[in-house]
């Protein structure tokens, strides 16, 4: 995974540097204005465009006992569904002010289960391998998640025929637009899970484990995401 991320950053970073060099050589003192205009255009397109996913759904009539009607008894029909998804943040890595990357809305804690040096398999002096394992806790939040149904026909539009129906999850209090009655609270999508990993290494004096950070290591965001 680290190698994939490295190659993505390397290739895209190289292309970005080449574009910047071409802008500098072609526009001289106006280069920064050109870059700003390009960024503004990208932001505009990003807010207006999404990549839809189209699929065909077949509707079948089902009896109370779960069996299906024969197609000759009650006709089936097919409906095209075109869905698109938008979310904030767009990805878990975000650029910081120094050009590096940082995890956002994601907290990680790992617990070294076998101590800072791990444990030998078979007693000394006949060590075969050293072994250690980690439990990894992850928690995160998607601040804004929107699902569009672009084929929905429930919202007529005099120009485009109909508007997409949107399902949104975000931190927001919902009121009735007419009476201002509180209807409820919308909450962002939150998630947490636990996974693990283990490792075997050849026998040695130091073994294998978390010798510097202690047996429990947490990112700054861990414990400060869920329910915030």
List, for residues 106-118, the tens digit of each pLDDT value.
Answer: 888 999 888 888 8
What 133-136 contacts at long range (C-beta under 8 Å, 24+ apart), as own/partner pairs, is: 133/196, 133/197, 133/198, 133/199, 134/110, 134/196, 134/197, 134/198, 135/110, 135/111, 135/194, 135/196, 136/108, 136/109, 136/110, 136/111, 136/194, 136/195, 136/196, 136/197
- What pLDDT, on a 0 to 100 scale, did the predictor assign at position 193? 93
Tokens, residue 67: 């069996």
CA 151 – CA 149 distance, rounded (Å): 6
The mean pLDDT value for 128-155 works out to 83
What average pLDDT is seen over the chain? Answer: 76
**Token couple for 45:** 């397109």
* pLDDT digits 0-9 by tens, 161-192: 677 778 888 888 999 989 999 999 988 888 99
Q: What stretches of the chain show up as alpha helix (H) in DSSP?
A: 2-27, 31-48
> How is residue 197 written in tokens?
């990993």
Q: Look up tokens 């938008």; give the residue.
A: 86
Please tell me the predicted confidence (pLDDT) of residue 53.
Answer: 59
Radius of gyration of the chain (CA): 27
Q: Per residue in 7-55, pLDDT tens?
A: 556 655 666 677 777 777 777 778 788 778 777 776 665 555 555 555 6
Three-state DSSP string of 22-78? HHHHHHHHHHHHHHHHHHHHHHHHHHHCCCCEEEEEEECCECCCCCECCCCCCCCEE
| In the chain, % of residues over pLDDT 70 | 67
Indicate left, alpha or beta for 43 from its phi (over 0: left) and psi (-120 to 50: alpha).
alpha
pTM of the complete model beyond 0.85: no
**Cβ pair 146, 86 in contact under 8 A:** yes
pLDDT at residue 90 tops 70: no
Start-to-end Cα distance in the chain: 30
What is the rounded CA–CA span in Å between residue 103 and residue 70? 53
Residue 222's pLDDT band, with cuts at 50, 70 and 90, is confident
How confident is the model at residue 168, as a pLDDT? 87
């Amino acid at each position: 995974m680290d190698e994939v991320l490295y190659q993505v950053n390397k290739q895209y970073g190289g292309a970005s540097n080449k574009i910047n060099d071409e802008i500098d050589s072609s526009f001289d003192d106006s280069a920064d204005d050109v870059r700003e205009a390009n960024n503004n255009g990208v932001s505009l397109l990003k807010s207006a465009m999404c990549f839809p996913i189209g699929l065909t759904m077949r509707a079948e009539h089902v009896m109370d006992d779960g069996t299906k009607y024969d197609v000759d008894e009650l006709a089936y029909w097919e409906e095209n569904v075109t869905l698109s998804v938008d979310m904030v943040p767009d990805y878990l890595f975000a650029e910081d002010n120094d050009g590096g990357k940082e995890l956002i809305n994601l907290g990680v804690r790992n617990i070294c289960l076998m101590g800072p040096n791990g444990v030998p398999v078979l007693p000394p002096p006949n060590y075969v391998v050293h072994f250690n394992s980690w439990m990894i806790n992850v928690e995160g939040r998607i601040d804004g998640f929107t699902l569009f149904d672009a084929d929905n026909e429930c919202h007529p539009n005099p120009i485009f025929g109909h508007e997409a129906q949107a399902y949104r999850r975000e931190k927001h209090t919902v009121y009735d637009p007419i009476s201002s009655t509180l209807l409820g609270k919308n909450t962002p999508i939150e998630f947490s899970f636990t996974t693990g990993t283990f490792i075997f290494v050849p026998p040695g004096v130091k073994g294998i484990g978390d010798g510097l950070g202690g047996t429990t290591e947490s990112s700054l965001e861990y414990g400060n995401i869920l329910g915030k």
